Structure 1
């Protein structure tokens, strides 16, 4: 007879949620690529199987094979989530030899189950191994949380070589997902010491499943419209910056003058959607060459370079009488920024003070 207590119902709902998210993504959505969809399917099915194990336990069904299902599914889940985020944030993502390291924990786990080692069989006599074995998946989960956060930070840094507009909001759903997952892992770890935490683990995972489902359906993919720019940045990384560049010193010097002339005469930075590729097209340069000139000759990435010009333009506007009726947001938009927050941050980074302070001190000085 099925045990219909709250824990059973929560596990059943979570199980259905994850199976549904995975199948929906793979069969219908296929967000940005089949590769990303496969990894998300693997993540969701793995967590669904993990909750299926809990359902079996709550209903008195035990056995080594079911225990294997519980532990192995979590090993697959964390690595699958990592590769899902990697395939979303890296346009040229391919599974490479360096990624084999993520399979090592899985292989070790399989070897232990198929060929149990005496030291593992007696792990309960060794405190360190007891803790390691009991919290192996918890430790792995925390490690992957930090690895995923690293992918997001790396992607954000790459974008500063590509675009002049801050787009942090496009990655907020990934950052929040990482935080929610970390909360689930913390509750899960605490439940190993005190069983009362087990309920919080279930409820937090339930919230996580609904939150993930909503954002997987709602999110449009990361920077789908910026695929050419992403390819430039990722190719640049693979080439280890500009090691294989054929640009001579003279060519770079000419490009510097060309860039300066265009920036001062045509003011392309006033376009708040300006990207590396679009500016390179106007300069009749290859994007990779423009990126090299900015980084090596101007000592700035694209984001900093463009925003420096925008800040200088805004400083003029703040002091000109014809812009006196503009508020700070109006000045920000007129000078090429797309938000007041981004404007204030860039202005302070370039001048050391806020736009309002600059306007006040300059007015008093005059």
Structure 2
């Protein structure tokens, strides 16, 4: 019997297996509004978990205890990219449904499984372990390279979907902090970078060391990949679920045109209506609800804001909110109310959004602005 060679690296991998299994199960089996999207992300987590089980099985030489353990296919790296992309697709467009066409994206996994069975056949014939076979040495680097291309390419497409979604949010929601996916955008960027880092690892291993680097040499990559995958799954599960007031339909935005006289007149009228009725004080204001209040079609209202005022809906509404806060600060009659309290009074419902929007518009933070007013009044 072989002794288990425990060290800090494989202990981290073992921990990631248990943590990943927990979050993967929660994402797939917990009944939530975003369950269909979460299930796709849960599969991503389980694929990384299986990969880590393969890593540990080699490090601990499982075949000494379970002779035919290597028969179990544990590599599905060519489906990671499509799963992550369709998770984002589902998160950014609730009306999206799988069709037969989408299933074509998962066909490359057949290649990966075919290589696995070829390795098994050679292992049986030569009485070697799977990682000692010639096919493993010759084909696995190619599969790794294809997986890198796949993950990075699908990550780029996923980031594009998030950018389109963020634009849609800005054009339909006045305070979209609860709905934005900036956290997912950042994590997918990190996820893709980690996969890109496999390139120098693979080339150095293949060209310099003749594919002789051991599992321990790859531990930093496996650990980094495990951490970011679990991070994404934890964020996805622990964040409040998104419930949209209206369906997210990916419509083609009208081309930017020079505004007609009618649009300019409607833009002036719209600004007067905003001042008179102070619709911006409603923290749940959306393009559709404002259009209903103004007896306008949402498409026309969007055109008036975009072309007539050269703004998106979010910027248009939040400017009124920031100006209302500035007016209250300058009046000196609201010193007993905190900045956060003033922001809530003026239509914001998130401290993060309030600080970000205020700084974008005024160039300084709300606290700095308040102090500048106090200093000028002395």
Asked if 2 retains the 8 angstrom alpha-carbon contact of 1:11 and 1:51, the reply is yes
The residue that corresponds to 1:39 in the other structure is 40
In the alignment, the residues of structure 2 paired with residue 323 and residue 301 of structure 1 have an alpha-carbon distance, to the nearest angstrom, of 30
1:324 to 1:212, Cα distance in 2 relative to 1, 3 A: closer
1:110 to 1:336, Cα distance in 2 relative to 1, 3 A: same
Asked if 1 retains the 8 angstrom alpha-carbon contact of 2:191 and 2:229, the reply is no
The residue that corresponds to 2:160 in the other structure is 150
| Bigger fraction of residues in helix | 1
Which of 1 and 2 has higher RCO (CA within 8 Å, sep 6+)? Answer: 2
Instruction: Calculate the aligned-residue CA RMSD, in Å.
Output: 4.6
TM alignment of 1:234-313, pairs within 5 A: 234-235=249-250, 237=251, 240-242=252-254, 256=267, 259-313=270-324
Gaps of 5+ in 2: 119-133, 206-212
* Structure 1 position 89, deviation (Å): 1.9
Asked if 1 retains the 8 angstrom alpha-carbon contact of 2:198 and 2:221, the reply is yes
* Structure 1 position 161, deviation (Å): 0.9
Deviations 1:252-281 (A, max 9, x none): 577546533431111011223322222222
Asked if 2 retains the 8 angstrom alpha-carbon contact of 1:319 and 1:362, the reply is no
Is 1:84 matched up with 2:87?
A: yes
In the alignment, the residues of structure 2 paired with residue 146 and residue 106 of structure 1 have an alpha-carbon distance, to the nearest angstrom, of 20
1:205 to 1:363, Cα distance in 2 relative to 1, 3 A: closer
The residue that corresponds to 1:29 in the other structure is 31
The residue that corresponds to 1:198 in the other structure is 218
3-state SS of the aligned residue for 1:47? helix
1:2 to 1:22, Cα distance in 2 relative to 1, 3 A: farther
The residue that corresponds to 1:219 in the other structure is 239
Asked if 2 retains the 8 angstrom alpha-carbon contact of 1:53 and 1:67, the reply is no
Asked if 1 retains the 8 angstrom alpha-carbon contact of 2:81 and 2:152, the reply is no
Asked if 2 retains the 8 angstrom alpha-carbon contact of 1:50 and 1:70, the reply is yes
3-state SS of the aligned residue for 1:43? helix
The residue that corresponds to 1:246 in the other structure is none
Asked if 2 retains the 8 angstrom alpha-carbon contact of 1:183 and 1:204, the reply is no
TM alignment of 1:122-161, pairs within 5 A: 134-161=144-171
Asked if 2 retains the 8 angstrom alpha-carbon contact of 1:10 and 1:206, the reply is no
In the alignment, the residues of structure 1 paired with residue 33 and residue 199 of structure 2 have an alpha-carbon distance, to the nearest angstrom, of 32
* Structure 1 position 184, deviation (Å): 4.9
Deviations 1:66-99 (A, max 9, x none): 699455x011122212211221122222346985
Asked if 2 retains the 8 angstrom alpha-carbon contact of 1:17 and 1:209, the reply is no
1:333 to 1:27, Cα distance in 2 relative to 1, 3 A: closer
1:183 to 1:3, Cα distance in 2 relative to 1, 3 A: farther
In the alignment, the residues of structure 2 paired with residue 297 and residue 5 of structure 1 have an alpha-carbon distance, to the nearest angstrom, of 69
In the alignment, the residues of structure 2 paired with residue 20 and residue 343 of structure 1 have an alpha-carbon distance, to the nearest angstrom, of 35
1:201 to 1:67, Cα distance in 2 relative to 1, 3 A: farther
3-state SS of the aligned residue for 2:293? helix
1:323 to 1:80, Cα distance in 2 relative to 1, 3 A: same
Aligned residue pairs total 344
Asked if 2 retains the 8 angstrom alpha-carbon contact of 1:12 and 1:55, the reply is yes
Asked if 2 retains the 8 angstrom alpha-carbon contact of 1:22 and 1:44, the reply is yes
1:307 to 1:98, Cα distance in 2 relative to 1, 3 A: farther
In the alignment, the residues of structure 2 paired with residue 33 and residue 138 of structure 1 have an alpha-carbon distance, to the nearest angstrom, of 28
The residue that corresponds to 2:58 in the other structure is 57
| TM-score with structure 2 setting the length | 0.69
| TM-score with structure 1 setting the length | 0.71
3-state SS of the aligned residue for 2:96? coil
Q: Which moved more, 1:149-158 or 1:183-192?
A: 183-192
In the alignment, the residues of structure 2 paired with residue 184 and residue 337 of structure 1 have an alpha-carbon distance, to the nearest angstrom, of 37
* Structure 1 position 104, deviation (Å): 7.2
In the alignment, the residues of structure 1 paired with residue 142 and residue 101 of structure 2 have an alpha-carbon distance, to the nearest angstrom, of 25
The residue that corresponds to 2:172 in the other structure is 162
Is 1:4 matched up with 2:4?
A: yes
Deviations 1:6-60 (A, max 9, x none): 36665555445444443433333355143x1442343233223323433443426
In the alignment, the residues of structure 1 paired with residue 180 and residue 4 of structure 2 have an alpha-carbon distance, to the nearest angstrom, of 40
